[in-house]
Amino acid sequence: MEVHSWFETSLPALPKPESLTSSRTSSSSSITIPDQMQYSSAIYEETSFSSLQSDVSQDSSHNSRQKMINSPSVTHSCFGNFQTLAPQISFLAVHGNTLYAASLNEINVFDLTNYCLVDNLSCSGMAKSIAFVENKIFTSHQDCKIRVWQIASSSKKHQLISTLPTVKDRLRRCVLPKNYVQVRRHKQKLWIEHADTISGLAVNDGLIYSVSWDKSFKIWRISDLSCLESVKAHSDAINAIVVCANGLIYTASSDGTIKIWQRNDDGGKKHKLVTTLVKHKAGINALAINEDGSVLFSGGFDENILVWEKDYTADDHMVLSHSLKGHTGAILCLTIVDDLLISGSSDRTVRIWKRSREYGYCCIRVLEGHLKPIKALVAISGRNGDGVISIFSGSLDGQIKVWKVTTNSTSCTSP
């Protein structure tokens, strides 16, 4: 397969790489173009030099203010596009040097060293989430199933090795009537089965967690792929889940709440509700949490990103600290890389946020170029602390854009 059929630019003509190098600004000095891509893929830049206004407001307990960003050291460029045949992108994930792009009935797999399409995973039902555990890939789908894939050592292609719940798990439980639950009028299912779209996956400590539009989340043991527990968690569809290393689980729902769960202290299987966070004015679509679990971000249909920080004086519960305003549409996806928060919205933009000690959170860049809402984001840190990050944004326009952002010595300053 030709590279240019998958990774290309929207510009009609391509100047030779030598002329590109001489005309570039400082934002592109750290961009490396693989040799095999130079003539088969067009590369262009959309570098912004002007200051951006940040519509950042904090919680009512803080002084609310609007600030102007003055961070000339932040530069960005659109490195290129993956042109897929899919009408939309529903989820993106990176594992090693591989990019996974989920769409309607397939998952395209790209090698990031040369931007070639290396595999295509066909599946019934749109893929909504992807998680990785050692050499296995877990994907959740709109057809209420979780699929488990493995890369064959000989062909290097992905092979479907199981579907959750497994046949063994179903047979073990199908005999007893107590294992069935009412999902709709005149319809029952085994409690180990999801009854609607599985919208998210998270992995922690030998377990994989799945959340669904059926208002529940389930816990699966990775070693034998068996379902251990099902929790009726919310009063409406669950859209997102994140899990901390300490075992705390955060679920976000269309009911406008975030719920925090943990395993019982007695070591049993059951999970219990710790607390409920209620501040959003509409349904919540996305969650992101920092590495140590001290800061949680949530975004939803109210166009706000809420920042929750751990309050060590209140049993380690999360409290609202900031509300980030700027998007003019629903927040559809969030991701964290280094000390930056990245958000995608139905307003067709990607925003990059950074926290400063003096001014709170600032929007340091707005990335524009998609024609439809942005549904998926994934970001990769630069090497050797060079301050360059790569951002992949997937949209309902079927495109995946690749952005290079340089953030050396970035700070939020007043006008």
How far, in Å, CA of 373 to CA of 253, rounded? 20
Per-residue DSSP letters for 54-87? E-EEE-TTS----EE---TT-EEEEEEEEE-SSS
- The DSSP 8-state label assigned to residue 18 in this structure reads H
Residue 125 in domain: no
pLDDT tens-digit profile of 356-394? 877 789 999 999 999 999 999 999 987 766 778 999 999
SS3 287: strand
How far, in Å, CA of 210 to CA of 164, rounded? 11
End-to-end CA distance of the chain: 50
Report the pLDDT value the prediction gives residue 51, as an integer from 0 to 100: 28
SS3 178: helix
pLDDT tens-digit profile of 254-277? 999 999 999 887 655 689 999 999
Residue 2: both structure tokens together: 């030709």
Report the pLDDT value the prediction gives residue 183, as an integer from 0 to 100: 86
Of 110 and 48, which is predicted with more confidence? 110
Single out the residue of 304, 273, 268 nearest to residue 286, CA to CA. 304
Q: Which amino acid is at 176?
A: L
Residue 207 has pLDDT above 60, yes or no: yes
Mean per-residue pLDDT, 217-234: 96
Residue 168 in domain: no
Cis geometry, peptide bond prior to residue 165 (ω within 30 degrees of 0): yes
Helices (H) and strands (E) in the chain, counts: 2, 34
> How far from 267 is each of 111, 193, 202, 222, 229, CA to CA, in Å?
42, 24, 20, 18, 14
148, 163 in Cβ contact below 8 A? Answer: yes
Task: State the chain's mean pLDDT as an integer.
Answer: 81
The alpha carbon of residue 98 and the mean position of all alpha carbons in its chain are separated, in whole angstroms, by 16
Mean per-residue pLDDT, 235-248: 95
Residue 167 in domain: no
How far, in Å, CA of 344 to CA of 351, rounded? 7
User: What's the structural domain count of the chain?
Assistant: 1
The CATH number covering residue 205 comes to 2.130.10.10
Percent of the chain with pLDDT over 70: 78
Residue 77 in domain: yes
pLDDT tens-digit profile of 170-201? 999 999 999 999 888 788 999 999 999 999 99
User: CB neighbours of 394 closer than 8 A, spacing ≥ 6?
Assistant: 89, 90, 91, 92, 101, 374, 375, 376, 377, 400
Lowest mean pLDDT among 25-39, 51-65, 117-131, 299-313: 25-39
Mean per-residue pLDDT, 339-353: 96
Report the pLDDT value the prediction gives residue 266, as an integer from 0 to 100: 66
Mean per-residue pLDDT, 9-19: 34
Residue 285 has pLDDT above 90, yes or no: yes
Of 344 and 409, which is predicted with more confidence? 344
Residue 38 in domain: no
Single out the residue of 212, 224, 298 nearest to residue 260, CA to CA. 298
How far, in Å, CA of 125 to CA of 128, rounded? 9
Single out the residue of 77, 85, 78 nearest to residue 6, CA to CA. 85
pLDDT tens-digit profile of 295-343? 999 999 999 999 999 988 766 689 999 999 999 999 999 999 988 999 9
Residue 25 in domain: no
Residue 303: give the domain boundaries. 69-94+194-407
pLDDT tens-digit profile of 77-130? 887 888 777 889 999 999 999 999 999 889 999 999 888 999 999 988 899 999
Residue 370: both structure tokens together: 């998609």
Single out the residue of 160, 218, 215 nearest to residue 184, CA to CA. 215
**pLDDT band per the 50, 70, 90 thresholds, residue 412:** low
How far, in Å, CA of 70 to CA of 229, rounded? 50
User: CB neighbours of 259 closer than 8 A, spacing ≥ 6?
Assistant: 233, 234, 250, 251, 253, 273, 275, 276, 277
Task: Enumerate the H helices of 191-326 as residue ranges.
Answer: none
Residue 226 in domain: yes
- Strand partners for 45: none
Residue 23 in domain: no
How far, in Å, CA of 69 to CA of 57, rounded? 14
